[in-house]
């Protein structure tokens, strides 16, 4: 599902962010990517969503070679990859329903389909009774649930969750992780980028550890070792 062959990213000879990354994530896996600040996690995410291109190497998502993807193709790629960030990026003037439906509207999806899909994804994240609330009326955990719902509207094969619990307390963190596990049970590949040691160790799933731009550990049922 995600395949990186000898991927490096550097901006000049003294600024090497990723070094010779070889990585394969199978369809349906739930993988945690961990590492200290500056390890290269964010850059790796940017490469996977084609926000940046590798300096060397090859990147494949599903059957797509996105190594040198053309800008006009990137929106189609991102419909196959749901992305969840720590920053909720919700539109404050739109309701929960409107925030989620907006992701479909900009893709040209008709209103009939929108009325079908949005309630489905809001139900998955436990917000089926809060369609008409505004972001300011929601807790942090609920706002992150809206973000997750929005990431699901195109039925992506991959979800990349970049520090999705970074701004949440323990209870909300646990609830968000449970939602991600439920989505994974549907067959969606999950890449969780996090610094939360407790979350990683509790999951007992595959853990990939980055340090100084290199993979230093890849364990099937790993722990946060740093």
Average pLDDT (2-6) is 96
> Is 21 domain-assigned?
no
pLDDT digit string, tens, across residues 211-223: 999 999 999 876 6
- Which residues, 6+ apart, have CB-to-CB distance to 71 below 8 Å? none
pLDDT digit string, tens, across residues 30-64: 999 999 888 999 999 999 999 999 999 999 998 88
CB 172 within 8 Å of CB 141: yes
In the predicted model, what is the mean pLDDT of the chain? 92
Average pLDDT (127-140) is 94
Label the pairing between strands 206-211 and 30-34.
parallel
> Is 16 domain-assigned?
no
**Residue 206, strand partner residues:** 31
Average pLDDT (65-87) is 88
Percent pLDDT > 70 in the chain is 98
Residue 96: predicted pLDDT:
97
> Is 182 domain-assigned?
yes
d(CA 181, CA 200): 12
CATH number of the domain that residue 183 is part of: 3.40.50.300
> Is 193 domain-assigned?
yes
Average pLDDT (74-78) is 86
pLDDT digit string, tens, across residues 164-187: 988 888 999 999 999 999 999 999
Residue 221: predicted pLDDT:
77
Domain range for residue 154?
26-52+75-219
Q: What domain count does the chain have?
A: 1
CB 34 within 8 Å of CB 226: yes
Q: CA end-to-end span of the chain, whole Å?
A: 27
Q: Helix, strand, coil shares of the chain as percentages rounded to 5?
A: 35, 25, 40
> Is 12 domain-assigned?
no
d(CA 160, CA 193): 8
> Is 57 domain-assigned?
no
- CA nearest neighbour of 144 among 92, 90, 93: 90
> Is 63 domain-assigned?
no
> Is 13 domain-assigned?
no
* pLDDT tier, 126 (very low <50, low <70, confident <90, very high otherwise): very high
């Amino acid at each position: 599902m995600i395949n990186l062959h000898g991927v490096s990213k550097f901006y000049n000879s003294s600024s090497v962010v990723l070094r010779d990354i070889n990585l394969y994530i199978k369809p349906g896996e739930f993988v945690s990517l961990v590492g200290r600040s500056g390890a290269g996690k964010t850059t790796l995410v940017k490469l996977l969503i084609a926000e940046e291109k590798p300096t060397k190497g090859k990147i494949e998502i599903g059957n797509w070679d996105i190594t040198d993807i053309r800008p006009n193709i990137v929106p189609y790629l991102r419909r196959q990859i749901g992305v969840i960030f720590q920053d909720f990026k919700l539109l404050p003037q739109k309701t929960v329903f409107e925030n989620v439906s907006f992701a479909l509207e900009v893709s040209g999806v008709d209103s009939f389909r929108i009325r079908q899909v949005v309630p489905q994804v809001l139900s998955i994240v436990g917000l089926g009774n809060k369609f008409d609330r505004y972001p300011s009326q929601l807790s942090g955990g609920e706002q992150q649930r809206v973000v997750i719902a929005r990431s699901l509207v195109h039925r992506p094969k991959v979800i990349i969750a970049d520090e999705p619990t970074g701004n949440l307390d323990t209870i909300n963190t646990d609830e968000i992780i449970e939602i991600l596990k439920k989505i994974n049970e549907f067959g969606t590949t999950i890449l969780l980028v996090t610094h939360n040691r407790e979350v990683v160790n509790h999951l007992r799933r595959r853990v990939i550890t980055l340090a100084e731009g290199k993979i230093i550990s890849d364990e099937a049922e790993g722990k946060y070792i740093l």
